[in-house]
Structure formats: C-alpha cells, structure tokens
Structure 1
C-alpha cells in the first residue's frame, strides 16, 4: 500500500443525515486520479473525519479506522445518453418532483429541501410522463463556482448522483448509491440553467442501474454518469437516521 493523502467530507455535504453524499464524496476522491475511475461506496461515509487514501495495485482506497469506505478502480462511463428533454419539459417535470428515500424533505446536499439557497444544490427531479425517466432544470448557485464561472468538478459529480435515483422503478423505496463513474465533457456554467436528465437502464434483484446527464439549454452534453443503486431492505431503511 502506498499512502496518497487523505480526504474529508464536511458535514455540510451529507446525503443521509449522518453520512456523506456519495456523488460528492466520489467527486472529492476524483481529484486524486487522472484517468476515469469507477468509485464504489462500501460503507456509510463518515462526516468531518479524515479518510486515509492509499494506492493498492491499480486502485485508490479511502479508509476510516482501517475499513474501506470508497474504492476507485479504473473504468469509464458505458452509457450513451438519449436525446435530452426540452427545457420546457424538464422544467415541468421538476415542478412535480418525486421522492426516492433520501430525497423529499431531507437535508441531502443534492436533493434535500431543508437547505438554504446556496447551501445545497436543490436538484428536485420529477418523472417524464410514464417513463422511467426523470428531469429538472438546475441553475448552479455562485457558491459552487470554481472561480472561473464554472461549477467545481466535485459539485458536478454530486449533481449527477441523486437524479439517477429519481428514475428508479419504485419511487417510495429507499435506495442508496453503490457505485458511480462520471465524465465531464464541457464546463458546466454557474448562473445559467442546465437540463438534468436521468433514465433507468436495468434492475436485477436489489441492484438498479441508471444514467444521468447534464445538458446546456441548446442540448449540448456537458457531463454524464453511470450510477449503480442498491435497494435497501426495510431493516436497513430503519437504521438510517432521520
């Protein structure tokens, strides 16, 4: 094992109330690799706790107390995003948002509603008709700017996380992100509306695979992600701190 450094997920970036948002944490870890990597989340992500990152063969592993929390292995996106919805259709979908467990009225950094403006991404997706697709329009706040008019990469990863959950089959079921890989094709501007589109690819048992994408108003693909979700059992759901 070769020490690489450490990462810390501040409490402001929670998903479930007592653990880090998976997409954001994966984005923070992505600072430490150059080629595309798939990030697996093996355990709840501790907040305000330094995670030691080591290189193990071709993987980067972030641990807490010796327990693997995040593991990044080489690999890129596999999905080809479908044509995006129009800005109008995405706006309409977002006005009737669905919930998928960690969303709704939660404090999740990405999709929670109990956040002040600029303290969360406020991405609230709704279904596109009767399809297993979801969409919204998101205007990134200046607080998430990289200093050059664009959204910082870790916030792009975060924005590509939760929308996938809104496209899953059972909207009243609790899902948590299990794996994610993202690709950013162009800078995502702050202060300008972007279209968020998510779609369900397949389900097998308690595993569900979805794609997400961010588009400029003219339909230009800005970023995309493959997301693997794990459906929680009722017992696991009950263990989440509300």
Structure 2
C-alpha cells in the first residue's frame, strides 16, 4: 500500500527540510493504529519539501521515500513503559503561561522559521511554541502552552500534528547556545484523540548530554487539569 504526498514549505524545520516532528507524525499516522498509539520513528535524511514523496506501508512499517531513498521510517513500538518512564512532575497552566513569557532560545534558534518553534512565524500559521524555564524547578523542565485552535482547523487534532509538537520543545530542553541538531529518532505514546478548541500544556526536559554528537531529551503534553495525553523520548544528532 502506498500513496504520494508533497510536504508544503509551510511545514519547514530547517530551511533545507521539513520539520522533523511533522514528518515523524506522517509516518505514525500512516501506521493507521487506533489510540493509544505507541510507535518509534527513525529519520535518515533531511525531509524534502515541495517535491513528490511516497509513503509506503508494508510489513507493519511506514516508509517515507524519495524515489528509492528511504527518508523516514515508523513502526509500532511495544515498550510503552520506556517512553513513560521518569517523566518529571507536570506544571500548572499558570506556570506554563509564565514560563513561555521568557523563552531562552529565540536569539540562538538556527531555524527561526520552524513550523513548531520558529519565533518568526505567525501564531495563526504555525505552532509558535516558546518553551521557557519553570520558576522554582531545578530539574531543567521547560514549559509552554500549545494553542492548536489558533493555527489548525477542524474539531480534532491529527496524530501527525500531535507528534510534531513532541519534537522541538525537547530540543530546547537539551540544547545549549550555538547548538545545531536534527532529530534522528522519536519513541512516542499518544494516549487519545485531542479536541481542537482546548489549550494544552507542553513540558520538556533533558535526559542525557555528553561529549558525543548525540543528545537525549523528553517531551509530554498535558491537559490543563494535569492529564497526560502524549509523551516522547527524542534523540538529537548535532550537525555542523
């Protein structure tokens, strides 16, 4: 089973490719799994925009291809506990509102037009997630509010848009000024379908950073009442 698709430049991450989380979400959605969804996705190359790609579903794997070149591949992932392990305590809606007033990264963002975290994007055209440090927390947690109703349409939020939101906030929880990296792997859990007309809390946190090019961090989405809706562990690879 296969279908062709073109990723609009609206969904860019870096200038040379689509947002990694958005592309991860396309691979997750192509698996056609009911909620709760647990999956892992590997990204092998920058994802081309404005060109014809093919999404193939075969042997339980979704593969985004450009010709014969494998770009992104998703598959079901059984270890839900791994994804949900060691998630920091959630923050309140009020804490998230305050945290997003002071994001540290906009002056250092190498991709200011990113669909998810680009500070130069209009709030009615992109997610515009501005994660900031949470006052009183010493665990490195960042938080912001996700307002899907400002830039998406419809009654429900798609799996690929949920996965996209689990991407960039994890970067800013582990990055330092001057870092430039691309997401290489995401293991995620999407607990249930989300309503479009709600605000949601997004938190992110560092897990591992060392002298190698690899960095590991996590992200989670909550309701304003503290219900866990989705979570991910994200592997980032530094680039020059």
Tell me whether the two structures share a fold, i.e. TM-score over 0.5. Answer: yes
Show the counterpart of 1:223: 230
Measured after TM superposition, the shift of residue 161 of structure 1 is: 0.7
Matched-pair contact (CA < 8 Å) for 2:28–2:75 = no
Question: How far apart in 2 are the matches of 1:65 and 1:199?
Answer: 37
Within a 5 Å distance, the mapping from 1:1-242 to structure 2 comes to: 4-35=2-33, 36-55=38-57, 57-76=59-78, 77=80, 78-80=82-84, 81-99=87-105, 103=109, 106-128=112-134, 129-145=137-153, 147-148=154-155, 150-204=156-210, 205-232=212-239, 236=240
Q: Describe the SS at the equivalent of 2:164.
A: helix
Moved more, 65-74 or 14-23: 65-74
Matched-pair contact (CA < 8 Å) for 1:210–1:228 = yes
Matched-pair contact (CA < 8 Å) for 2:83–2:187 = no
Aligned CA-pair RMSD: 2.3
Matched-pair contact (CA < 8 Å) for 1:100–1:172 = no
Q: Describe the SS at the equivalent of 1:158.
A: helix
1:55–1:154 distance in 2 versus 1, CA, 3 Å: closer
Q: Which runs of 5+ in 2 are unaligned?
A: none
1:162-215 deviations in whole A, cap 9, x for unaligned? 010111052431121111133221333323221111111223521111111111
Question: How far apart in 2 are the matches of 1:105 and 1:15?
Answer: 6
1:142–1:187 distance in 2 versus 1, CA, 3 Å: farther
1:38–1:173 distance in 2 versus 1, CA, 3 Å: same
TM-score in terms of structure 1 length: 0.84
Moved more, 95-104 or 199-208: 95-104
> Which of structure 1's runs of 4+ aligned residues deviate more than 6 A?
none
TM-score in terms of structure 2 length: 0.85
Matched-pair contact (CA < 8 Å) for 1:102–1:174 = no
Matched-pair contact (CA < 8 Å) for 2:6–2:53 = yes
1:226–1:5 distance in 2 versus 1, CA, 3 Å: same
1:25-45 deviations in whole A, cap 9, x for unaligned? 111222221353311111110
Question: How far apart in 2 are the matches of 1:68 and 1:102?
Answer: 31
Matched-pair contact (CA < 8 Å) for 1:198–1:211 = yes
